[in-house]
Amino acid sequence: MSEQDSHADAERKRLDKETEVEIFDAVRGDDDNPVMPVRLKSGAMFNFSCHRGVSCWNVCCHGTDITLTPMDILVLCKHLSIRPPEFLAEYTLPGVWDRADLPVAKLKMTGADGKGPCQFLTDEGCSVYEARPATCRYYPLGLASIKPKGADVKEDFCFLVKESHCKGHDEDKLQTVAQFREEQGIEDYDRVNRGWMDILMKMASWKSLGGPHGKDVSPQVKQMFFLVSTDVDGFRQFVLESKFLDTYEIDPEAVEVIKENDEALLLLGFDWMKNVMFQESTITMKEHVLHDSIAKARENMGAI
Ligand code: SF4
Ligand code: SF4
């Protein structure tokens, strides 16, 4: 084992030991190559450059496993001038984010076995480059979040992934993680996706106990998580046309904002899901609804 590999191995063991496992990786799937993650702080330097001249140009855009984040879908829809239902039907496949057992949308690859090129790949390269998903922007970095045992606050960090097919690591371009993230335009994605990633990570950490507080969330809640994460049009319709606004305290000005603003709607959706799935006080029920719920719960328990 090389010195770097042995360092990576020790680092991984240390992380496993010190933390609850709450990792969201932005790594493209490549089952036949073990990935050696090396933890990097934002000021840490690494060598990497991807450009048309590399011998592996576009190799990584074939048969890749790309989970689409909520922000990916918003940005790609805008770029393609379509709305989420059409985007989902045309460009994605339903999948599961295994570590949390939650439904997600995956970018559809071409080929009967899904191992062909990405449908956005052309001879000129990525045809949606300005709107490419977060996973494509992050590569070869992964994003992880760790909650040290006993701590309340999570800590994000990046890790470097070296896959043998990727020759970008041999290129002469030294940069910090912060510089790379800025160049790739990642900040906006992380800002909007934060709540969604929190939910995935939290579910992943509960998984060994069977789910939040020892109980898995219902299929209906998982379905709603998928709707919130992938289809702002469907979720908006639900918020405005169901009993949602009669149930929760939402500022009237905020209601006006979410009628138009997709990002604001997503943030509301994540807060709501955190409340539904983990009973976090991220959204407040109206008082009369709360009283009714308590009375019903008591009735069910035979208290009255
Ligand atoms: S979206 Fe673009 S960068 Fe990402 S896999 Fe497809 S072609 Fe490659
Ligand atoms: S250098 Fe890496 S990221 Fe760039 S095209 Fe080659 S495999 Fe893909």
Tell me the per-residue pLDDT of 146-175, one tens digit each, with 9 for 90 and over. 766 666 677 778 888 888 889 999 999 999
Please tell me the number of the ligand nearest to residue 130's CA.
1
Tell me the per-residue pLDDT of 115-150, one tens digit each, with 9 for 90 and over. 899 999 998 899 999 999 999 999 888 887 776 666
Please tell me the number of the ligand nearest to residue 166's CA.
2
How large is the average pLDDT for residues 102-122? 94
Q: In this predicted structure, what is the pLDDT of residue 75?
A: 98
How large is the average pLDDT for residues 11-32? 44
From the CA of 51, how far away is ligand 2's center (Å)? 8
First to last CA, the chain: 67
Answer with the residue of higher pLDDT: 9 or 278: 278
Tell me the per-residue pLDDT of 25-77, one tens digit each, with 9 for 90 and over. 544 544 455 456 677 888 889 999 999 999 999 899 999 889 999 999 999 99
**CB 157, CB 12: distance < 8 Å:** no
Q: In this predicted structure, what is the pLDDT of residue 213?
A: 77
Residue 99: how many CB atoms within 10 A of its CB?
A: 17
Q: Has residue 22 got a pLDDT over 50?
A: no
Tell me the C-alpha distance between 5 and 142, whole Å: 17
How large is the average pLDDT for residues 199-205? 86
277 lines ligand 1 (CB under 6 A): no
How large is the average pLDDT for residues 280-299? 79
Answer with the residue of higher pLDDT: 44 or 90: 90
From the CA of 111, how far away is ligand 2's center (Å)? 21
Q: In this predicted structure, what is the pLDDT of residue 96?
A: 93
184 lines ligand 2 (CB under 6 A): no
Tell me the per-residue pLDDT of 245-286, one tens digit each, with 9 for 90 and over. 999 999 999 999 999 999 999 999 999 999 999 999 999 988
Tell me the C-alpha distance between 31 and 53, whole Å: 26
Q: Has residue 207 got a pLDDT over 50?
A: yes
Answer with the residue of higher pLDDT: 58 or 4: 58
Q: What are the DSSP calls for the chain, one per residue?
A: --HHHHHHHHHHHHHHHHEE------PPP-TTS----EEE-TT-EEE----TTSTTTTGGGBS---EEPHHHHHHHHHHHT--HHHHHHHHEEEEEETTTTEEEEEEPBSSTTS-SBBTTEETTEETTGGG--HHHHHTTEEEEEEEETT-SS-EEEEEE---TT-GGGGSS-EEEHHHHHHHHT-HHHHHHHHHHHHHHHHHHHHGGGTSGGGSPPPHHHHHHHHHHHH-HHHHHHHHHHSSHHHHB---HHHHHHHHH-HHHHHHHHHHHHHHHHH--TTS-B-HHHHHHHHHHHHHHTT--
Which residue is listed with tokens 């956005």? 120
132 lines ligand 1 (CB under 6 A): yes
- CA atoms in the 13 A half-sphere facing the CB of 163: 16
Mutate to test the pocket of ligand 1, among 120, 123, 166 (most ligand atoms within 8 A of CB): 120
Ligand 2 atom 8 nearest Cα: 60
What pTM was estimated for this model as a whole?
Answer: 0.85
Q: Has residue 187 got a pLDDT over 80?
A: yes
**CB 137, CB 189: distance < 8 Å:** yes
